[in-house]
Structure 1
Amino acid sequence: GLISGYKSRLDIYPYLDLVVAVQANVSNASLTEHLSHFILDELLDLARTQDWLFE
């Protein structure tokens, strides 16, 4: 969800029995999406093919 100055994201991966929730007090449009992908990559120990946070 998005409201002035805040943004949240909830990603549900039922086949992994995993939920990733990100909340931020900034309205940066891509921050919650990229942070969610970064967290998933770290939790699953995936090879880094993209730097989600700094590209």
Structure 2
Amino acid sequence: MFVRFIFHFISGVLFFGQFAPEGWSPVLYSFVVNGSVVEGNLLVVLSNPFIITCNKDS
């Protein structure tokens, strides 16, 4: 997950920084956007084993 974040962060700064809201630096914008996406993905990945084991016991 961390390596994915790093590469998405770099591409966000280099290619998508132009879409940053006015007053935001491309670095901050990329960090916030990619951080929230990777964090959401990490929560889903970490919660799946818990959900699977709870459904297995039923």
Give the TM-score taking structure 2 as reference length. Answer: 0.32
Higher helix proportion, which one? 2
Give the TM-score taking structure 1 as reference length. Answer: 0.33
Higher strand proportion, which one? 1
